[in-house]
C-alpha cells in the first residue's frame, strides 16, 4: 500500500468478501477489519468455534452480519466447492472480494528427510484448495462491478530458503497462479489479482516457525491491515498482477 495509506471507513460498503482461514491470525484480523469497513464477510475455515467467535465479535461491533462456511481445505472435494459457490450465489448473487489467506506451515526440515504425507497436505491446502476455490468462485467475482482477489505469499515464495520445503514451494505456486490468472484477466475483466506477503507477523504460524523468537518483537495482524484494505478496496483499482509486501 502507499505509505501512510488510510482507508475511508466505508471503503468496502456494499461488498461481499470471502476470507479463508478467517478464524485465527491474519485471516481473523482481515475479516474483522473488512467488516469494520462495511463489508459483508464470508468466514471460511475449519474450526467452527473460532469462526463463531469472529462472527460474534463482528456482530457485537455492529458491523454487517457475516456468514460462516466451515470447510476443511485439506479434505474438501471438488463438489464441496461447487456447493459453496452455489450457496454464495443464492445468498449474495455475486462476490466482490476473495482473500486467500489459509495456509499450513508443514515440516521445517530438509527435502532430504521430508515426508510425503506432510508435503501432500501442504500442497493440498496451500495450492490445490486455492485453485479449486478460485476456479469455482471466479464466475461470481466476474459478476461484481469490480472485484479483488488477493493471494497470500511469503518471502520464501519469492526466494527459496533452506528447510522451508513444501511451504516455500507452495508459495512459489501461489505466485504462479496469481500471475497466470492476472494475465488471463488482463483487459477482459474487472477482476484484479495480486499477491501480498504479510511479512513477519505475530501469529500461531510465526511462533511455530520461529520458537526462539520473542513473539511481540513482530507486529500483530492488526498492524498490517492497511495493505489488506488497500488491495481489497477500490483505491487499488487498476492494480493488477503485482506482488506486494504488507510491511514495505
Ligand atoms: P495462522 O496459522 O495463524 O492461521 C492460519 C489460518 O488458516 C487459521 O485460521 C487456520 O484454521 C486456517 N487453516 C489452516 N488449515 C486449514 C484447513 N485445512 N482448512 C481450513 N482452514 C485452514 O497463520 P497466519 O495468520 O500467520 O498466516 C496467514 C497467511 O499469511 C498464510 O497464508 C501464511 O502463509 C502467510 N504468512 C504469514 C506470515 C507470518 O509471519 N505470520 C509470514 C508470511 C506469510 P485453524 O485456526 O482452524 O487451524
CATH number at residue 233: 3.40.50.720
Catalytic residue among 34, 55, 81, 167: 167
Task: Indicate whether 47 belongs to any domain.
Answer: yes
Which domain, by its residues, includes 160? 16-240
Task: Indicate whether 245 belongs to any domain.
Answer: no
Residues with CB under 6 A from ligand 1: 21, 23-27, 45-47, 50, 72-74, 101-104, 125, 152, 154, 197-198, 200-201, 203-206
Q: Which atom of ligand 1 is nearest to the CA of 153?
A: 44
Task: Indicate whether 11 belongs to any domain.
Answer: no
Task: Indicate whether 192 belongs to any domain.
Answer: yes
* Distance between Cα 188 and ligand 1 center (Å): 32
Q: In Å, what is the CA distance from 110 to each residue of 115, 119, 140, 160, 172? A: 10, 12, 40, 12, 17
pLDDT tens digits, residue range 88-142?
A: 999 999 999 999 999 999 999 999 999 999 999 999 999 999 999 999 999 999 9
* Distance between Cα 104 and ligand 1 center (Å): 6
Indicate if the pLDDT at residue 201 is higher than 90: yes
Task: Indicate whether 134 belongs to any domain.
Answer: yes
Contact by Cβ (8 Å): 22, 44: yes
**Predicted TM-score (pTM) of this structure:** 0.98
20-39 average pLDDT score = 98
Tally of structural domains, the chain: 1
Residue 187: the pLDDT is: 82
Q: Give the residue whose CA is nearest to atom 46 of ligand 1.
A: 24
DSSP string, 108-147: -S-GGG--HHHHHHHHIIIIIHHHHHHHHHHHHHTTSSSE
pLDDT tens digits, residue range 188-198?
A: 889 999 999 99
Task: Indicate whether 126 belongs to any domain.
Answer: yes
Task: Indicate whether 106 belongs to any domain.
Answer: yes
Active site residue 55: no
Amino acid at each position: 500500500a502507499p505509505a501512510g495509506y488510510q482507508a475511508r471507513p466505508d471503503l468496502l460498503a456494499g461488498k461481499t468478501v470471502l476470507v479463508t482461514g478467517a478464524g485465527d491470525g491474519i485471516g481473523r484480523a482481515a475479516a474483522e477489519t473488512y467488516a469494520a469497513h462495511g463489508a459483508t464477510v464470508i468466514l471460511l475455515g475449519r474450526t467452527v468455534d473460532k469462526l463463531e467467535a469472529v462472527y460474534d465479535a463482528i456482530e457485537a461491533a455492529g458491523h454487517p452480519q457475516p456468514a460462516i462456511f466451515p470447510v476443511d481445505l485439506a479434505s474438501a472435494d471438488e463438489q464441496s466447492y461447487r456447493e459453496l459457490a452455489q450457496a454464495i450465489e443464492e445468498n449474495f448473487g455475486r462476490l466482490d472480494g476473495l482473500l486467500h489467506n489459509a495456509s499450513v506451515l508443514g515440516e521445517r526440515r530438509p527435502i532430504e528427510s521430508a515426508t510425503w504425507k506432510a508435503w501432500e497436505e501442504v500442497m493440498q491446502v496451500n495450492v490445490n484448495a486455492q485453485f479449486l476455490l478460485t476456479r469455482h468462485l471466479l464466475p461470481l467475482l466476474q459478476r461484481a462491478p469490480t472485484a479483488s482477489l488477493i493471494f497470500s505469499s511469503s518471502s520464501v515464495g519469492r526466494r527459496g530458503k533452506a528447510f522451508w520445503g513444501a511451504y516455500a514451494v507452495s508459495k512459489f505456486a501461489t505466485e504462479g497462479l496469481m500471475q497466470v490468472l492476472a494475465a488471463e484477466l488482463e483487459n477482459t475483466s474487472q477482476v484484479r489479482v495480486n499477491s501480498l506477503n504479510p511479512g513477519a507477523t505475530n501469529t500461531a504460524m510465526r511462533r511455530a516457525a520461529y520458537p526462539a523468537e520473542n513473539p511481540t518483537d513482530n507486529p500483530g495482524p492488526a498492524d498490517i491491515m492497511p495493505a489488506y484494505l488497500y488491495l481489497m478496496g477500490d483505491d487499488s483499482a487498476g492494480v493488477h498482477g503485482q506482488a506486494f509486501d504488507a510491511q514495505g
